[in-house]
A and B are shown apart, each in its own frame.
Chain A
Amino acid sequence: MEKKILMKGNEAIAEAAVQAGCQLYFGYPITPQTEISEYLSQRLPEVGGVFLQAESEVAAINMVYGASASGARVMTSSSGPGISLKQEGISYLTVAELPCVIVNMSRGGPGLGNIQPSQSDYFQAVKGGGHGDYKLIVLAPSSVQELITLTHRAFYLADKYRNPVEILGDGMLGQMMEPVVFTKPQFPPLPSKDWAIKGKNGRERKVVGRLTLEAQALEEVNLRLHRKYQEIQKNEVLFEAFGSPEPDLLLVGFGTTARILKTVVREGEKKGLKLGLIRPITLFPFPRDEINRLANQAGKVLVVEMNLGQMVEDVRLSVEGRVPVFFYGRTGGMIPTAETILSRVEQIVS
């Protein structure tokens, strides 16, 4: 499949998962991501995999736990309210160090919210919506093509670090069609899953997801996980830099918002404004060093999000108060326009 085809975001994720060797999918329908389930319900049986519509999101995430413990590549997907329901299971997956891919095509919140695009699940994805000292690897695509490459990458990173990976998209990315080219996933070889439970067959007993009641022992577990997260922070940061390399104002945005910010950079250029954009592709690990460097160079930062200020906190932590950080956001399913952002940019620059 090297031909350029027009494909919907949700379907692109689903096909990319199959190409990455995903054999099992458990999910429960919710707009705006149900096409992922719909596509896989047809496609997975074709490749000898299993599609199962669970009775609830809670059941689906626990099926993911079981399937992942067997060593298979497994995925679930939902949108905000459904991802909230999965949080207990996600916390359990992290301490059992079970690799899996969780897709959140987020929508307006809180509560049931609505079904329009939103980025208000940033805190939930990056800061942990479940309990305990854990981290997910969080990837933020901004085009249908990138939904494919990041789905491939998500499965690789999940196995590499034995950690759940969340793909944080939104209703716009899930529902839109763009031209894509499917390329084969290519990553370095991974260690074999000698921890997986595939039937005892006379060998010694293996345990996945140990109960650690003793405080010192649990602290050890947490410290080990912490070292892993530091390793991830060191190795896996991805971002895109766009626009002027010596900007007068640095813009920071992810996903759908970053697309709009590219328009802002181009329109700003026409007005003689030197604007730079950093688009974090990994939200954890966060590209804090690069943002810090460019922010100091520019002297001012504007963060734009489809929420009332979530990632902006990580940008502020990255610059540690050395540079003023401004914020503009729309929420509830509203999408900021390039026009409005540009007038905000002009205010800040002048």
Chain B
Amino acid sequence: MHNEIIIGGFGGQGILFLGKVLATAGMLEGYHVSWFPSYGPEMRGGTANCTVIISDQEIGATISDHPHIVVAMNEPSLFRFAPSLKEGGLLLINSSLVEKEYQKEGIEIAKIPANQLAGKVVNNPKTLNMVVLGALIGYRPILPLSQVHRALEECLAGKEGLIEKNNQALETGWQYACQGGVTHVSQR
């Protein structure tokens, strides 16, 4: 088990928190984990990304040159990170914000209309990050969903009022992916 995951998007989409919940879930499952944010000279509303590594071995560098999973929450991060994906890797695209198609040989491309689902199904647009995380686990079950729910509750300690909606968002994204979702495996 060794997964390097890059999550990229706009500041404000909850990217660092998404990464934190994912890393916490990995920790609860007993793996070595690391979480590393982008901390360049970025401004509010600019780009944000973070790298999460979940492994059964001690983790070396906490950045990834060839990730196993790239989550593109917006278009700029799609074109920035998708080219580095490992063969057989997963590209998860937030299709609410990304209209352009992306082509790369030997990867799986999956979509999640996260803004729509967060807005209409969960009824809280701010939960789009948890919709995406649910979908990620649905498409690539690297961790049990139950552990992600537990991690979410741990990360929201002191903000218990937010747990229910975020759990619902996780569930929504997960179901979307598990019921087929939209995937496409590029041929070599």
Contact = CB atoms under 8 A, between A and B. Distances in A.
Interface of A: 4, 6, 31-32, 115-116, 171-172, 175-179, 256, 259-264, 266, 335, 337-339
A263 B23 CA distance: 20
A260 B61 contact: yes
Q: Which 5 A-B pairs have the closest CB atoms?
A: A263-B60, A177-B35, A179-B27, A176-B36, A260-B60
Interface residues of B, number: 21
A212 B39 CA distance: 46
A104 to B, nearest CB: 17
Interface in B24-63: 24, 27, 32-37, 39-41, 57-63
A123 B48 CA distance: 34
B27 A172 contact: no
Nearest to A337: B65
B32 to A, nearest CB: 8
Given A6-B20, A6-B27, A176 B39 contact: no
B20 A177 contact: yes
Given A6-B23, A176-B35, A262 B61 contact: no
A229 B59 CA distance: 35
A83 B27 CA distance: 35
Contact of B61 (A32, A116, A266, A337): A337
Nearest to B33: A179
A277 to B, nearest CB: 11
Contacts of B33: 6, 178-179
B57 A338 contact: no
Query: Which of A177, A179, A256, A261 has its CB near the most chain B CB atoms (within 10 A)?
Result: A177
Contacts of B24: 6
A176 B34 contact: yes
Contacts of B40: 115-116
Given A4-B27, A6-B24, A115-B40, A176 B62 contact: yes
28 contacts: A6-B20, A6-B23, A6-B27, A6-B35, A115-B40, A115-B41, A116-B40, A171-B39, A172-B36, A172-B61, A172-B62, A175-B39, A176-B34, A176-B35, A176-B36, A177-B23, A177-B34, A178-B33, A178-B34, A179-B32, A260-B60, A260-B61, A262-B58, A263-B60, A264-B60, A335-B61, A337-B61, A337-B65
A175 B20 contact: no
Interface in B96-138: none
B39 A338 contact: no
A86 to B, nearest CB: 23
Contacts of A116: 40
A32 B41 CA distance: 11
Nearest to B35: A177
Contacts of A264: 60
A54 to B, nearest CB: 23
A4 B26 CA distance: 12
A338 B36 contact: no
Given A178-B33, A260-B61, A335-B61, A115 B39 contact: yes
Contacts of B60: 259-264, 338
Contacts of A178: 33-35, 59
Query: Which of B35, B37, B41 has its CB near the most chain A CB atoms (within 10 A)?
Result: B35
A175 B37 contact: yes
Given A178-B34, A259-B60, 10 more contacts: A6-B27, A31-B39, A171-B39, A177-B36, A256-B61, A261-B60, A262-B58, A262-B60, A266-B57, A335-B63
Contacts of A339: 65
